[in-house]
Amino acid sequence: MIRKEKDYFILDTDHTTYCFRVLPTGQLEHLYYGRKLHIEDEADMQPLVEKHVFAPGNVNLYNEEQKAYSLEDMRLEMSSYGKGDIREPFVEVVNANGSNTIDFVYREAEITKGKEAFAELPGSYGSEEEVEQLCIRLADEGNELALELYYYVYPSCDIISRSAKFYNNGKKAVQLKRLMSLQLDFDGHDYAFTTFHGAWAREMKRSDMPVIAGKLVNASYTGTTSSRANSFVMLSRPKTTEDAGECFGFHLIYSGNHYEATEVNSFGKMRLVTGINPQAFSYEVVPEESFQAPEAVMAYAENGFNQMSQRLHHFIREHIIRGTWQKKERPILLNSWEASYFDISEKKLLKLAKEAKEVGIELFVMDDGWFGERMDDSSSLGDWEANTKKLPGGLKGLSDKIHGLGLQFGIWVEPEMVNVKSKLYVAHPDWTIEIPGQPHSEGRNQRILDLGRREVQDYIIESMSKVFSSADISYVKWDMNRTFSDYYSTALPPERQGEVAHRYVLGLYRCMKELTERFPEILFEGCAAGGNRFDLGILCYFPQIWGSDDTDALCRAEIEENYSYGYPLSAVSAHVSACPNHQTLRNTPLETRFQVACFGSFGYECNLCDMKKEEKEAMKEQIALYKKWRKVLQQGTFYRGRSFYDGTQSGMGGSVLADEAGNQMEWTCVSEDGTKAVGMLMQKLVVPNMQQQTYYPKGLLPDVRYHFYNRKLKYNIKEFGDLVNTVSPVHIKQDSLTHQVLSKLVKMDGETEDFHAYGDTLMYGGVHVSPAFGGTGYNDKVRHYPDFASRLYFMDGEVKK
């Protein structure tokens, strides 16, 4: 609900309040964002208003009429250069006369129901019953400029999003150097700034930094949101945990270069901004034209990170992800990449698909290598025609045979790229982002098509439409495997090269929008060398994104958990792969690989043809189990418990046993109605002589009785080494033929958990699970729990009749 009380604006969600006012100077003073307040009129907001009588020393006064006000010592909704505020600006412009001082002041406001879609950018959406919009109109009369600040309130989600639109009402062009999407000023700076950084194959490493005097920056200049610095960031009070303490989450609905910064000034005030990265950005706005900033999303929670995440998850599921696959259950897939890489043929693929069908997989995906003369990564990107030496019947021939096996069929594409060794590059060398006459810094033997050009967009749309309509294709993995270099477009004059990166993103969105509208039944999955473009902009078109090219279960557990702070896990694609893992050469148990992957949009990526019979039998059981719990895992409410993260700010470490600190991970996913739940425990390394462990589920209904149970497993006796001789009547040499034969005939029973208890007992008392092997004995009441082991636990509520 949005209200205007004289010069005050109050934005309420079900559990939060955001408010600001118009100052006598015409600037907008930020007053409050946090838990919901009781505000009936402007008098109730007087405690929130700073009292300014005399300006501080050595500052600039805004004007002679209001000498109490210095913008350097104010909490503002937006700011600019030149009028006294020397902090991070919201907007920066080079005026027609060369100056960069601008002074936007309040003119009017408008409150409406619903939310209009942006012309070229993606954004949130909702009906008139679900969202309200506040438009604040500001003007700089002297420079003939205007600025609109937009606030979108989603009451039931406890989400407020923001955006801005810049107008040139003058007679000459101006250069827009910066336009942020969100600015939020705080009274104090007793917060931690949390970012998620990384690289290829190690995305989403969490970092907590105390906000101190000066500036902290999280930014990308890779041309994408990047694995180096995801655009989702958080602010939290000291000692905030998963279930206690105040915190904020911030998203930017954008897929290009982004910028988030916190700054604390000399008066102890903190500012956070997020928007398009201003580095090397410059946009010419001609008379009577405008520039739209991307939308930014804010979430506040008073009860810890889990509450904040759940508010964001609900919002993303309901108001970002859209179309056929918004709430439809995602199929279980097998991807061919790690099974064969580029070395594919119809014969190999069909053999793999037959194995996939046998274990219960629903969708077979042919990855890279199917088009042009594609034998490795050095050729054929851009030539989107099937290689008939590999696929004699083309895409349709293979698709028909895959469907004949009872499977759906999907493919991999990389539409934004081109190889120099391709027909497309020979025909259109000017279609790439590169500087004419200068050596090009290439990535993965490929170049980036200039999606800022309309003809390039049209080529991608039409070539992909031809591919997608040539066969019965149910799924498309849309990849993008390099970062930008040598920013330059031959379609723009020299003075407008600062527009290249942003125009690329707008062109990408046009391609995605057009293709998802033409092919609404296809399940599109975003990918960019793993998580190099994981953001809400992509999720406006594609309901899921490949989280990382690293499929190692230990790495993926951390990656998935850290994505979960800002994204629902149904948006994170996760696969079971072979061991030793192709990225780390680490061996992890097959059950752990399954259990970690099943919390995302689930699939397999391994050569089933080479797997042992008992491994395929285990996969068959895993898939059957996942199908039973798929809805809970894909659409349920996710809770984090203990974590591998051992940072001190969030209070997640600190065990009195040093070996236990950061060694355990604990997740729970609960159905929408609270009657079903799946939990996972996982450890990094065995702690000797530590048998007892307690699992604390979250989100259960306190007064509902649950059936709590695990999946009964059996273990290969070879996992116990020559300890088998402690029970064998004859000596068995380790790895001998006898040992091999015996391992096929005899399996060790795992532990059983099976009882009924009320939700409050399970949550508050915890579940003391069966003891882990501690070196003093083993039987079917002991957990076989080696390095990197995990367990799934299931909770079925007894519905009262």
Q: Is the bond into 580 cis (omega within 30 degrees of 0)?
A: yes
The pLDDT-based confidence of 657 (bands split at 50, 70, 90) is: low
Residue 652 pLDDT exceeds 50: no
Phi and psi at 317, nearest 5°, equal -65, -40
Per-residue model confidence as pLDDT tens digits over 4-19: 999 999 999 999 999 9
- Specify whether the CB–CB gap between 154 and 13 falls below 8 A: yes
pTM: 0.96
Q: Where do the CATH 2.70.98.60 domains begin and end in the chain?
A: 2-319
- CA–CA dist 354, 335 (Å, integer): 13
Amino acid at 232: F
CATH 2.130.10.10 describes domain 638-797: no
Per-residue model confidence as pLDDT tens digits over 665-702: 999 999 999 999 999 999 999 999 999 999 999 999 99
More confident residue, 634 or 719: 634
Calculated CA dihedral for residues 679, 568, 484, 522, nearest 10 degrees: 110
- CA–CA dist 517, 522 (Å, integer): 10
Calculated CA dihedral for residues 555, 560, 563, 565, nearest 10 degrees: -110
Residue 654 pLDDT exceeds 50: no
The pLDDT-based confidence of 650 (bands split at 50, 70, 90) is: very low
CATH topology of domain 333-549: TIM Barrel (3.20.20)
- CA–CA dist 45, 617 (Å, integer): 65
Q: Which of 73, 85, 140, 549 is catalytic?
A: 549
Q: Is 158 a catalytic residue?
A: no
3-state helix, strand, coil split of the chain in percent (to 5) is: 25, 30, 45
Give the pLDDT of residue 659: 57
Residue 136 pLDDT exceeds 50: yes
Which has the closest alpha carbon to 57: 73, 79, 45? 73
Give the pLDDT of residue 800: 67
For the stretch 100-104, contacts whose Cβ atoms lie closer than 8 Å and that sit 24 or more positions apart, written own/partner, are: 100/177, 102/140, 102/143, 102/145, 103/140, 103/142, 103/143, 104/78, 104/80, 104/138, 104/139, 104/140, 104/145, 104/146, 104/147
Which has the closest alpha carbon to 433: 382, 484, 480, 503? 484
Per-residue model confidence as pLDDT tens digits over 201-236: 999 999 999 999 999 999 999 999 999 999 999 999
CATH topology of domain 2-319: Beta-galactosidase; Chain A, domain 5 (2.70.98)
- 772 bridge partner residues: 783
Q: Where do the CATH 2.60.40.1180 domains begin and end in the chain?
A: 638-797
10 Å CB burial of residue 127 (0-12, 13-18, 19+) is exposed
- 448 bridge partner residues: 417
Q: Is 44 a catalytic residue?
A: no
Pairing relationship of beta strands 572-577 and 601-605 according to DSSP bridges: parallel
- CA–CA dist 292, 164 (Å, integer): 6
Amino acid at 438: Q
Q: Where do the CATH 3.20.20.70 domains begin and end in the chain?
A: 333-549
Q: Which of 479, 535, 550, 552 is catalytic?
A: 479
- Specify whether the CB–CB gap between 279 and 487 falls below 8 A: no
